[in-house]
Amino acid sequence: MENRHKAGIYEKYIKRLLDIVCSLVFLLLFWWLYLVIGLLVGIKLGRPILFKQARPGKNEEIFHMYKFRTMTDKKDGAGKLLPDEKRLTHFGSLLRSLSLDELPEIWLILTGKMSVVGPRPLLPRYLERYNEHQRRRHEVRPGLTGYAQVHGRNALSWEEKFNLDVWYVDHMSFFVDLKILFDTVKTVVKREGISSGTSVTMEEFMGTSGIESK
């Protein structure tokens, strides 16, 4: 059995304080941006403006994550939703490429459900598919951005992504977080890794046999 990491001084006393300060300052400075994006989403994609979905956080505690909506509700003749690539509009794709659809998560950082930096929160049904190593990504708060997001994002395989997540859990520090934030800006500007090789988002994770490690 793999040992759980031990939280250091930075994680225990500093990281949460920085999360509160950064999220609060951002919300105070850019509240108007939420209004603009919300208005445009309502006009171009309709209601609801926000996409809500359950996600597992630290210690696998389930919370609700919010994003700005990027897809339509178009359905086929049988009433089934069309594939993602057919429902993702140009406007929605632009929001995703600039990571503007993620802005509602800033509130979750302020309330303590998420952190500025950490493994991205995925779907609850993946919990039973993780191996022991991959499950360690839930030993810390999920993040708005993370180590995997600046090293390939959706262009990575699931195994590569999880290995990077666990690396972060074991190497979390102020300077690691700072570098991830700088790299995040570069990744967003370059619009890298938005899609996987075969999907506009990321294929579903179906599980991995054995324990992968980096």
CA distance 6 to 116: 20
pLDDT at 17 over 50: yes
Question: Percentage of the chain surpassing pLDDT 70?
Answer: 89
The predicted structure's pLDDT at residue 3:
58
CA distance 180 to 184: 6
Q: Assess contact for 88 and 45: CB atoms under 8 A.
A: no
CA distance 98 to 33: 13
CA distance 210 to 180: 29
- The stretch 138-166 carries a mean pLDDT of 91
The torsion region of residue 6 among left (phi > 0), alpha (psi -120 to 50) and beta comes to beta
Lowest mean pLDDT among 20-29, 44-53, 186-195: 186-195
Of residues 92 and 172, more confidently modeled: 172
The predicted structure's pLDDT at residue 86:
77
Segment of 71-75, 170-174, 189-193 carrying the highest mean pLDDT: 170-174
pLDDT at 210 over 60: no
- The stretch 120-129 carries a mean pLDDT of 94
Segment of 97-106, 113-122, 149-158, 187-196 carrying the highest mean pLDDT: 113-122
Nearest CA to 5 among 156, 189, 133, 190? 133
pTM of the model: 0.84
The predicted structure's pLDDT at residue 10:
95
CA distance 87 to 75: 9
pLDDT at 137 over 70: yes
- The stretch 172-201 carries a mean pLDDT of 76
pLDDT at 200 over 60: no
- The stretch 75-79 carries a mean pLDDT of 72
Arithmetic mean of pLDDT over the chain: 87
Of residues 173 and 46, more confidently modeled: 173
The predicted structure's pLDDT at residue 211:
46
pLDDT at 199 over 80: no
